[in-house]
Chain A
Amino acid sequence: MPRSWAELLGEADAPSEAEEEGGRFFSRLRDSLSKSRRALTGELAAAAAFDPGNEADWERLEEALIAGDVGVQATAELVRRLEARGELPDLNAALADEVTQLFGEPPVLDVAHEPAVILVVGVNGTGKTTTIGKLAARLAEHGRSVVVAAADTYRAAAEEQLEIWAQRAGADFVGSERGGDPAAVAYDAVEAAAARGRDVVVVDTAGRLHTQTNLMEELTKVRRVLAGRLEGAPHETLLVVDATTGQNGLQQARLFGEAVGVTGVVLTKLDGSAKGGVAIPIAYELGLPVKLVGVGEALEDLQPFDPRDYARALVAG
């Protein structure tokens, strides 16, 4: 059963909504997966063909995982856990189990505050602004009013870009002039939300490499200002990670985590051929869950993370 938005938002909602969402989700994912072509792992899709006694079969599994950017260490760990199971009548199911366990409890997006504040961070080009547009739209669908804050005051036309998404999603927009103080924009947005009685504030930040200490400090400041203005804020800090990213994704998660305390990962561009395997070492070594996945450039292309579907795609064709 794929996760629904209702479940992600912690709503005790009717299963009918979940089913409806599930249907839409499946067709979306199926479309995405059909775009991929994976010759190597196609062999593994025939789960019955996997023989735990055959060294070559294990090797191919390892290669499939490494090819998915799971990384050497996490691959070894997964293989260890699979081996420990002994019999493997259905490899896909077993892998899905292990991956699900690795990711831990199904996460929740914490929007139960007045207002709830979501800070969105990540390196350049991962899809933060697009994700925010999609998220705002989804929240609106679930009865939340949203303010988006254009705290990317650095990049050319970043504000204009977010403003277009805000319009598409029907969200309020708060920005400032280019080169302004991102922390000030974040602050203003929370003020505006409080004044207007909006439910959620989503703060967009400039892409930055985790190796740029001054920019990471700037981000820490944004967080501090949010916390100062509203106790407990930001309630969620989402790190947006591109699914094509290799092992550097782990380092990104580590350093962003140290700087601002990440509560969850958004894995984007999963509609490509990349599997986003780096989410596994991120979960395994840092205990960070994936909360959302991006599967396209359209407004509706954002889904709650489902570890079973993710695991299946990892070794499927």
Chain B
Amino acid sequence: MFDALTEKLQSALGDLRGRGVLDDEAISRAMREIRLALLEADVNFGVVKDFVAHVRERALGEDVRKSLTPGQQVVKIVHEELTELLGSSDSRLAFSQRPPTTILLAGLQGSGKTTAAGKLALLLEKEGRKPALVAADLQRPAAIDQLVQLGEQVGVPVYAEERSDPVKAVHDGIEQAKAEGRDVVILDTAGRLHVDEELMDELAAVRREAKPTNVLLVLDAMTGQEAVNVAQAFQERIDFDGVVLTKLDGDARGGAALSVRAVTGRPIKLASNGEKLDAIDWFHPDRMASRILGMGDVLTLIERAEAAIEEDEKEELERRMMKGEFSFDDFLSSYKMIRRMGPLQGVLKMIPGLGNQLEGLDQVDENQLKRVEAVILSMTPHERRVPHVIDASRRKRIAAGSGTTVEHVNQLIEARKQMAKMMKAVGSGKMPQIPGAGVPGAALPTQGPPRPSATRKSKSKRKRKARR
């Protein structure tokens, strides 16, 4: 499963296999591609310069691994460096010993502060806390209305008064929260330009008044080169602790995240990815690194796969998969491999292109997987190795032995065939359209007719399934 960046790198690097070491010239070529990819991802050009120089150092002289192409290897290094840069041990929120804990949200206009405030309130409530929202955006028409409505949706009190002084609004809001026994107060402020001296002064005053436990910069994932200036200015004036990155449900690569982290050292703490109030999550640096590089989570898959099975075992499996030889033994071992990788839906979504195609299919179900395993284990070793011998009588036996139905067995057999075909196509560089699920370990296809067995048998034994 190769992606655009890896391919570009591969053609830039040529075939280094057997040369042992990634040399200077090859690295330069690769770094040009990396620089391009990062700029296209909106990483600030100054940050790109520094990052590429740093990666270059690391890549020089690194041994060419057997199992990865030089292109993949460079990407792996870049991805690791990016992940390290983006990662942080302190991506959690701080909670005060003396409640209430306060969280101040600040940022440019339209970054998503108010929505984030609502989401945070819901998130914290689910964690068993008693949050409250304070409306300190007194500038935007109907901003208070918006927060009040969100509070109602979430079931969290909102302290708001029509007034003109945000400092007073914050003071009164916190007092009221204390009086009503709320233990977390989320302060929503007005969006403002980092270059607007007056409004930045006001924000600094609000911060002084609130003495917040957490100050979060809310940043739109599609922000371009200016992310650096925005972050620096906000850091200067209010010294934020972390970032909430919003609108990640779009296809913006999100290089701004790297820019902010690189110039302020502050971590991304939360990732917001949708308009619904539950669409917020703690930040995952490795996923963000893949996204910035424009590669889905393929690398994460490569890494996880490497950990899950032996090197040569994987190569052999890969070799056979590419040729379309995919027996039920392979099915079982890759299924076990997938199991080790993590929650299935997450894994499936990681495969570029596949994620989209799987939308609309029934949700993959762990119970169904157990069924799949049972069916395969009821096969004889010969049947697993040479699936096409599985005729109708064998199917009946397998069904009985696994406690499933012949229909299930038929579906599984069909799925394996589809998977083998797909892998062969992947090996030849094309990713076909998949009408039903065709991925190792995926649910049995729930649409499409199971075809009659390919092996010859007497007409009396052949079963005809009705076409839907």
Contacts and interface: CB of A to CB of B under 8 A. Distances in A.
B194 interface: yes
B110 A125 contact: yes
Interface string B72-111: 0000000000000000000000000000000000001111
Interface string A157-192: 110110111000000000000000000000000000
Contact of A209 (B40, B153, B250): B250
A156 interface: yes
A315 to B, nearest CB: 14
A57 interface: no
A127 B109 CA distance: 8
Contacts of A245: 220, 222-224
A241 to B, nearest CB: 10
Nearest to B151: A156
Contacts of B140: 161
B224 A124 contact: no
B195 interface: yes
A308 B297 CA distance: 43
Nearest to B114: A156
B107 to A, nearest CB: 10
A271 B145 CA distance: 27
B249 interface: yes
B42 A269 contact: no
B225 A67 contact: yes
A246 B252 contact: yes
A242 B255 CA distance: 17
A100 interface: no
Interface in A93-128: 123-127
B110 A246 contact: no
B34 interface: no
A68 B108 contact: no
Interface in B197-255: 197, 220, 222-227, 229-230, 247, 249-253, 255
Contacts of B197: 35
B150 interface: yes
A274 B228 CA distance: 11
B237 to A, nearest CB: 14
Interface string A214-240: 000000000000000000000000000
Contacts of B143: 157, 161
Interface stretch (A5-13, A194-202, A247-255): A247-255
Contacts of B111: 125
Nearest to A125: B110
Contacts of A273: 193-195, 226, 229-230
Size bracket of the A interface:
35 or more
A160 B247 CA distance: 23
A209 B222 CA distance: 11
A69 B145 contact: no
Contact of A66 (B45, B148, B253, B255): B45
A160 B225 contact: no
A24 interface: no
A35 B229 CA distance: 13
A161 B149 CA distance: 13
B139 interface: yes
Nearest to A255: B251
Given A157-B142, A157-B145, A160-B142, A244 B224 contact: yes
B36 A127 contact: no
A160 B144 CA distance: 10
A23 B445 CA distance: 68
A124 B109 CA distance: 11
B252 A124 contact: no
A197 B275 CA distance: 37
Given A67-B45, A272-B194, A246 B109 contact: no
A272 B249 contact: no
Contact of B225 (A163, A165, A246): A246
Nearest to A240: B110
Nearest to A243: B226
Interface in B104-136: 108-112
Nearest to B229: A273
B195 A37 contact: yes
A244 B230 contact: yes
Nearest to B139: A297
B98 to A, nearest CB: 32
B141 interface: yes
B256 interface: yes
Given A126-B110, A157-B146, A272-B193, A66 B39 contact: yes
Contact of B224 (A126, A155, A278): A278
A67 B253 CA distance: 17
Given A72-B40, A125-B110, A272-B195, A248 B142 contact: no
B149 A247 contact: no
B138 to A, nearest CB: 13
A63 interface: yes
B42 A246 contact: yes
A36 B195 contact: yes
B226 A156 contact: no
A71 interface: yes
A225 to B, nearest CB: 23
A210 interface: yes
A267 B196 CA distance: 19
Contact of B39 (A72, A125, A244): A72
A156 B109 contact: no
Contacts of A155: 146, 275
Contacts of A272: 108, 193-195, 226
A22 B249 CA distance: 41
Nearest to B118: A156
Contacts of A156: 145-146, 149-150, 153
25 contacts: A35-B193, A66-B225, A67-B44, A67-B45, A67-B225, A72-B40, A123-B222, A156-B145, A157-B148, A160-B142, A160-B146, A161-B141, A161-B143, A161-B145, A211-B250, A211-B251, A212-B249, A245-B220, A245-B222, A247-B40, A248-B42, A248-B251, A271-B193, A272-B108, A274-B224
Given A35-B193, A247-B42, A248-B253, 15 more contacts: A37-B195, A66-B225, A69-B225, A126-B110, A127-B109, A156-B145, A157-B143, A163-B142, A210-B251, A242-B110, A244-B108, A244-B220, A271-B193, A272-B195, A274-B224
Interface of A: 35-37, 63, 66-69, 71-72, 123-127, 154-158, 160-161, 163-165, 209-212, 242, 244-249, 251, 269, 271-274, 277-278, 297
Interface of B: 36, 39-42, 44-45, 108-112, 139-143, 145-146, 148-150, 153, 193-197, 220, 222-227, 229-230, 247, 249-253, 255-256, 275
> What 8 pairs between A and B have smallest CB-CB spacing?
A246-B224, A125-B110, A246-B42, A157-B145, A156-B149, A248-B252, A157-B146, A160-B142
